[in-house]
Chains A and B, each alone.
Chain A
Amino acid sequence: MFRARHDTPPEDGVTVTIDGHDVTVPPDTSVAAAALLAGLDHVRTTPVSGTPRAPYCMMGICFDCLMEIDGVPNRQACLEIVRPGMTVRRQDGARSLGAAP
């Protein structure tokens, strides 16, 4: 859906794992932006009907970019900045319990 104008060499960027794929992005990139760069077409499915959604506002308003970041669900991916080694997963439906007992 989006591409970077310039490639980021691994030594200049931050590498994160998104849905199992490693992607290197510039520092200060939001997780939502990184997910789009990683080629994710949607970042979650809705709890109500299970339809796919992608980031819409990119500024913390729409809550359509909710993802699971380092095991914590329901994070606004557009407000989270990538950190080395971060693991990000698409969020399906009402995925909020984390590690259930």
Chain B
Amino acid sequence: MAVSHDVIVIGAGLQGCSTAVHLARRGARVVVLDRVFPGRHASGVNAGGVRRLGRHPAEIPLSVASLEIWARLPELVGHDGGFRATGQVKIAESDAEMARLEQRAAMVRDMGFGHEEPIGRDELRRVVPTVAQHCVGGLISRADGFASPYHTTHAFHRKAVTLDVEMALDGPGATGIDRVGEHWQVASGPHRFTAPTLVNTAGAWGAGIAKRFFDEDVPLEIEAPMMMVTAPVPHFLDPVVGLAARKLSFKQMPNGTLVIGGGHRGTPDPDRQTTRLDFNKYGISAETVLAVFPHLAQVPVNRCWAGIEGVTPDDIPVISESAVHPGVFHAFGFCGHGFQLGPVVGRILSELILDGGTNLPIHPFRIDRFAIAPGSPVAPASAT
């Protein structure tokens, strides 16, 4: 069996394109397969937060390493992806919430990271001048910010192409995977790709691929995080704003529009690759925005949409070599916060594949953490 490539990547989102770029930079011959174009789903339509703030403890080292790549994205892919280091701030609406944020900052400090900094009333008003009176303070991560999801994914895609990565897009995707000798053979309609190594970065569809082709179980919930964007308004806000106790992600883009997300869910239809929106929940979302920025009541919402995302029981992704099959790697189920991790996840996979290991602590993300011994209670994966 003739080997066509060194690595076959299934899924041309940000994780897949980033993996391809990191591999190809080191000389690997890579092919990326997808049924749609890069950025069609979560990679291209997410809210664009580039956030270390408030990460699950297991994700913090990865997130910190990823931000270092974000800061010099033009060196890697020739484009900044629209990244603006405007800061991210999580606002406390009560003293009790503020106490909780301070505990959180202490925990992050104890882990050896200094990016999460508690701020009081005055500093909050300096960074978010129009915030409502009842807000008492917050937690800020000053070097975080936001980027343009589509432009970022497209930049990785374009870079992969210039590094001679083969892109098999907008076609049948992976229709069959077989072990042939020491290699994996992927059928994509009439085409066949053969390589010793295979990467599954299929996002919300990743667990389906893991189960169907490799018999590895990941209890992935498919969800549809909803977002909305308003008409442009005069500039009033620099950092991305979240809340300590309510669902909100709120930012003003350079063109003046406001992008509002935060985790309210619609209903996904992963087979048709569509979503259904829930306007009662958008109502809650708008109510939350107005609680913090009451002067925005007359701003028209221009467009609402939802992505299709895979969420794991412990709210952190799978980034792992297969527990069963040699030469198979998984990175999916980013639970709505994979965009910022994209640059580093590609690097980690390239290291796992080319070097046999990585210096970053990825044990919490192993794929077999969901396996439950018969009769034992459900045991969530350890967080650190």
Contact = CB atoms under 8 A, between A and B. Distances in A.
Interface of A: 47-48, 72-74, 93-101
Nearest to B300: A74
B294 to A, nearest CB: 8
Contact of A96 (B130, B233, B255, B294): B233
Contacts of B208: none
Given A47-B232, A74-B231, A100 B298 contact: no
B300 A98 contact: no
A98 B297 contact: yes
5 contacts: A93-B234, A94-B256, A96-B230, A97-B234, A100-B295
B292 to A, nearest CB: 12
Contacts of A93: 234
B119 to A, nearest CB: 20
B135 to A, nearest CB: 13
B232 A98 contact: no
Question: Chain B interface secondary structure, helix, strand, loop or mixed?
Answer: loop
A96 B298 contact: yes
Interface residue tally of chain B, by bracket?
A: 10 to 19
A94 B295 contact: no
B295 A96 contact: no
Question: Chain A interface secondary structure, helix, strand, loop or mixed?
Answer: loop
B298 A94 contact: no
A73 B233 CA distance: 10
A64 B120 CA distance: 44
Output the residue of A73, A98, A101 with the most chain B CB within 10 A: A101
B299 A97 contact: yes
A14 to B, nearest CB: 24
9 closest Cβ contacts across the A-B interface? A94-B232, A96-B233, A98-B298, A94-B256, A47-B232, A101-B295, A97-B233, A74-B300, A96-B299
B296 interface: yes
A97 B236 contact: yes
Given A94-B256, A100-B130, A101-B130, A72 B298 contact: yes
Given A47-B256, A74-B300, A94-B256, A100 B231 contact: no
Contact of A95 (B234, B295, B297, B300): B234
Contacts of B296: 97
A98 B295 contact: yes
Contacts of B230: 96
A47 B257 CA distance: 11
Interface in B132-185: none
Contacts of A72: 298
B231 A96 contact: yes
B129 to A, nearest CB: 9
A54 to B, nearest CB: 19
Given A47-B232, A47-B256, A96 B300 contact: yes
B231 A94 contact: yes
Nearest to B133: A101
Nearest to A96: B233
Interface string B285-319: 00000000011111110000000000000000000
A94 B233 contact: yes
Nearest to B230: A96
Contacts of A94: 231-234, 256
